Amino acid sequence: MTTEKLIIFQKIYDFLLWLYPLINRIPKSHRLVLGKHIEDLGVGLLLLSIQANKTRDGSRKEEQLAMSDELDKLRILIRLTKDLRFISISQYQYAAEKTNEIGRILYGWMRSNRNF
């Protein structure tokens, strides 16, 4: 397992630890839909990182592309959460920094594969 693979898993995991208490503060009427989608995307991203870590280089492309898609969806829903004022601007800025960091690591990992 290369360093990038371990780093991306840890970054996603740490982000989810930070994100879960925020999801619980979304008003109940929105938590069941918006909060659930954010939770599902975050957990899905984490699980895809595990799968991509276990996959051989030649067939890893699909998992990495799926991770990129999940990350884009997660960013949009976090932005919506901010625009609905369920999280503060500073919380949104922190989330944006962390998702951008994960995105940069993922992009570097994807570029390191010969298939991209």
Residues 15-35, mean pLDDT to the nearest whole number: 95
pTM for this predicted structure: 0.89
Q: What is the pLDDT of residues 39-88, one digit of tens each?
A: 999 999 999 999 988 887 667 888 999 999 999 999 999 999 999 999 99
Fold (CATH) for 3-112: de novo design (two linked rop proteins) (1.20.1440)
pLDDT at position 55 is 80
pLDDT tier, 114 (very low <50, low <70, confident <90, very high otherwise) = low
CA distances from 86 to 2, 13, 51, 75, 95 (A): 38, 22, 32, 15, 13
pLDDT at position 89 is 97
pLDDT at position 1 is 46
**Helix and strand totals (H; E) in the chain:** 5, 0
Q: Which residues contact 39 (CB under 8 A, 6 or more apart)?
A: 20, 23
Residue 38 has pLDDT above 60, yes or no: yes
Q: What is the pLDDT of residues 85-109, one digit of tens each?
A: 999 999 999 999 999 999 999 999 8
- Domain ranges in the chain are 3-112
